[in-house]
Structure 1
C-alpha cells in the first residue's frame, strides 16, 4: 500500500484483514521519520519553515540525527527556538497510521502489546477493527518539573480501576499507563530535562536503550516504539539540576543551539516575531508608524551588547524575546504620541528608545555589579552603547578627532554658546521639527551624510545625531519626566573659553577635548 499524500483523507480500511490485503507494512517511528526526511531533502522542501539563522549549524545536525535514527537533546540558552523546533518534528511523521481500535497504546494492528489488544485480536481475528491516527495525535510533550513522578511519565497500578472492575492487582488491565507509553508510535518531548529528579530520570533508561517499559508489580515488559527528544539549558546542566550520566549516555545526539550571529539575522527574526501590523485591531484609529532601518539595527545591537555586558549574567543568556518586545514597545511609544496629537502617521524617534527599557529589565539576569548599577541604568547603558555603535555606520565617528569630529563643528559650536534644546516625549511633529531646526548645522549634516525619505525621518535622524554626540561625551543631556534636554556639557566652564572658531580645528590640540 502506498503512503498517503499530505492532504489525503485516511484510507477506507477498517479491519485488520483489509489492511493485510492492501499490502500495508508498519514502519518504526524513526524509520518513518528517516524516510520522510529523505524525500523532503530530495524535493528541496523547507523542513523547518520560519527557523532563521540555523541553516548551516543546528538544522543540518538535526537532520543528520534523524537520518541516523537518533534520540536528540537540544542544548541552549533561553529563547533559542528549541521548543519551536521540537514541535516541528512531527511534520516528518506519516499523515495517518493504522492503530488497533479500542486499545490504550496506539497499537500496531499486526503486533498488539497490551492484554486488551491481544484479547481483541484473538477474539475477532482479521475482523478486528482498526482506526487511522493522524500525525497531530502522535506528539506528546511534558515540561519537566521537580514534582513529576514515574506514574506521570511511565505509569502505575490504578486501584480505582481495579475496584470498579473488580480486578486483582495481578491483572494487566489495572495498569494506568503514563504519558510516554500513550505516545507509543509517536514522538515524545521533555522540556528542561535536568529539572527531573535523578530517580525519575532512571525510569527513562529502558525506553532509551531497550525500547520498553516495565510497570511495578508486573513481570511484563511493554515494547515501545517512540522517538525521544529533549531540551535543556546549559546552566541547568550544572546548577539547577543534574542530568544523570547513564541517561546522557543514551541520548544519541546532543545539538547545541545559539543566538543570532549577525545583526541582519537578528533583524529578520525580530521582524517575523514582533507584532507590527496593528491596523487590523485598531477599530478605525490606525496610526501608520514608520520605523527607519537604523532603529531595527539599534534594537538588535542592544541584544548583542547585553550578551557581552559585564553587568549581565551570561550563563542565563539574553533571549531574542528582548528584541521582539523592544520593537513592540518602540512602536507603541510612537503610536501613543501620534494618538495624543491626533496624527495619522508618525516616525519613531530616538527619544522613544527610553520606552524599550521594560523589555530589557524584565528579561535579563544581573550579576552583582549590575545590581549595584540598577536594572534601569543597565538598560539605558545598553541602549546608549547601541546608539553609539550603529551611528558610525551612517555618520563620521565623533570619537575620531582627526577625521570624524570636524564634521560636527557647527553643531558643537551652537551648544558651546550656551544653547540647549528640549524634546518632550509627546511633542507633535511640527513642534519637534521646529526645535531641532534651531540647532545650527544639524539639518545640513544629516542631508550631507544620509538620504531620509520624509521630513519626519529627517527630524528623527537629526535627533539621532544629538544622541550620538551625547553618547560620545560631546554634549550634555538631562532627563526629566517625559522629556530630555540636550545642552553644553561643560556649561559656564566652557563659556569662559569663548565659542571656538575655525582656526581651533587647525591646531594640533582640539578644543573639543574639553568635552571629555
Structure 2
C-alpha cells in the first residue's frame, strides 16, 4: 500500500484497508515470523527455551505481560523489540492527540472532525517506531501524568468551560493509544496510582476529574518488576496483578557460554582497542565466572541479583587495563595478563549489593575474594585440584 497517495478518509476506504487491534496486529505478524523460522527477538541470548517461548505464547493469546526478574535480565529490551512486530505504518486522524483510528474514532476531536468533513477528513500515517511509549515508575508519578487532567490554560485559550471534553489534557497512556506502552519498575508506583490502571486494563474506561469517558483504548501493556521491590519500596496490588494475564519470569544466563556471548555482544570495545589488545579465552571466562561466583556468594545479597552489566563493564575495564599498560610502556600491541584482572575490581564493587556480613568485610575485599574464587574455578577446569592431590599424598604417607 502506497501510504503517500492516501491522505483522506475516502481514499483510505477505497484502498480496502482494514483496521486491526494492536494485539491482533502483533499476533498476526508474529505468526508470519514463526512460519518463516525467523527469530522475533534478535540479540536476546539465553532465553531461547524459556522466556522467548513464554512471550510468544502471551502474544498469541493477546495478553498484557508482566516481566518479573532481577536487574540486568533484558526485561525492557524484550519489550522494546516488540516494536518490530508492528505494521510499518498505520493511519490516524490527522491532528489527533490519541492516534484515533479513522474508522473508529474515540476522541471528541476526531468524532467532530469526521462528522464535519466525512470522506474528506485528512489522515496521516504513524510509523511503528512512534507507537512505543515507556514510563519509569517513580513515587512522584501522578494520575494526571498517566491518565490526564483538566487543562485550564487550554480551556481559556479555546474559551470553553471546564466541563467541555476538549479541555482535557490527555496523559501518556491515552496518547499511547494503538501502541505498546511499557511501565518499568511497576511496584514503585503508589497503590492509588496502580488502582487507576484497573479499568483501563479491564474495561477501557478512563476517568479524569469529573469526566467519566468511555474510551476503549487499544494498547498492549507490558510491565516490568523486580522481586526485590516487593520488600524495599512497594508491591503490585493484587487486583492489578490479577488483570495482567501473563506473568513471565526472567533469569540470568544458565550457561557460561551464553554469558560469554552476551558480554561479547554488549561490550563497547573500540576497533583500535580490539586491534591493540588480545584477550585470551581463559581471561574472558574468568570475568564471567566472577558473576557466577557472586550470585552464590554468602556476602552478596541474592535478592538484589548480580546484573549482566557487571561482566560487560568488567570486560571493558580489563581491555582498558591492558591498553593503559601498553601506552605507558610505549607498546603498539599487547595481550591481557592475569595481573590485569585487578583492574576489574571497580566494576565489581559498584554492581553488587552486600548483606550485613559483606558490609563488615568491605566491598573491595569481597570483590577481590570473588576474583580469587573465579580464578580458582577456572584453574580447576584445566588442571587437577591441588587440594585433592594434597590429600592423596597425605593419605599415602599415613599408610
TM-score range (shorter-chain normalised) is over 0.9
CA contact (8 A) 2:204 2:214 kept: no
2:356 counterpart of 1:368: yes
Compare relative contact order (CA 8 Å, sep 6+) and give the higher one, 1 or 2: 2
The aligned counterpart of 1:164 is 157
Q: In structure 1, what is the Cα distance between the partners aligned to 2:179 and 2:296?
A: 41
Task: Specify which of 14, 21, 24 is matched with residue 31 of structure 1.
Answer: 24
404 and 17 in structure 1: CA distance in 2 versus 1, 3 angstrom threshold: farther
1:111-126 equivalence runs, <5 A: 111-126=104-119
The aligned counterpart of 1:349 is 337
2:204 counterpart of 1:211: yes
Q: In structure 2, what is the Cα distance between the partners aligned to 1:41 and 1:357?
A: 43
1:508 Cα deviation after fit: 1.4
The aligned counterpart of 1:501 is none
Q: In structure 1, what is the Cα distance between the partners aligned to 2:353 and 2:66?
A: 25
Secondary structure at the counterpart of residue 247 of structure 2: strand
2:136 counterpart of 1:143: yes
- Which has the larger Rg? 1
1:256 Cα deviation after fit: 0.4
For structure 1, which segment, 139-148 or 387-396, has the greater mean C-alpha deviation from structure 2 after superposition? Answer: 387-396
- TM-score normalised over the length of structure 2: 0.97
Task: Specify which of 25, 44, 64 is matched with residue 71 of structure 1.
Answer: 64
2:397 counterpart of 1:508: yes
507 and 117 in structure 1: CA distance in 2 versus 1, 3 angstrom threshold: closer
- TM-score normalised over the length of structure 1: 0.75
For structure 1, which segment, 208-217 or 141-150, has the greater mean C-alpha deviation from structure 2 after superposition? Answer: 208-217
Secondary structure at the counterpart of residue 229 of structure 1: strand
2:205 counterpart of 1:316: no
CA contact (8 A) 1:58 1:255 kept: yes
Q: In structure 2, what is the Cα distance between the partners aligned to 1:352 and 1:165?
A: 67
342 and 314 in structure 1: CA distance in 2 versus 1, 3 angstrom threshold: same
1:433-464 Cα shifts (integer Å, max 9, x gaps): xxxxxxxxxxxxxxxxxxxxxxxxxxxxxxxx
Task: Specify which of 60, 69, 81 is matched with residue 74 of structure 2.
Answer: 81
Task: Specify which of 356, 361, 383 is matched with residue 395 of structure 1.
Answer: 383
2:226 counterpart of 1:245: no
2:386 counterpart of 1:386: no
The aligned counterpart of 1:469 is none
Q: In structure 2, what is the Cα distance between the partners aligned to 1:275 and 1:14?
A: 44
Aligned-residue CA RMSD (Å): 1.7
CA contact (8 A) 2:79 2:182 kept: yes
Aligned residues: 399
154 and 506 in structure 1: CA distance in 2 versus 1, 3 angstrom threshold: closer
Q: Structure 1 unaligned runs (5+)?
A: 406-504, 511-516
CA contact (8 A) 1:100 1:109 kept: yes
1:402 Cα deviation after fit: 6.0
The aligned counterpart of 2:313 is 325
1:227-242 equivalence runs, <5 A: 227-242=220-235
Q: In structure 2, what is the Cα distance between the partners aligned to 1:202 and 1:110?
A: 31
2:269 counterpart of 1:276: yes
Task: Specify which of 175, 179, 183 is matched with residue 182 of structure 1.
Answer: 175
1:293 Cα deviation after fit: 0.6
Q: In structure 1, what is the Cα distance between the partners aligned to 2:67 and 2:369?
A: 33
Secondary structure at the counterpart of residue 170 of structure 1: coil
Secondary structure at the counterpart of residue 387 of structure 2: coil
Q: Structure 2 unaligned runs (5+)?
A: none
CA contact (8 A) 1:105 1:183 kept: yes
Q: In structure 2, what is the Cα distance between the partners aligned to 1:40 and 1:90?
A: 13
Q: In structure 2, what is the Cα distance between the partners aligned to 1:402 and 1:147?
A: 61
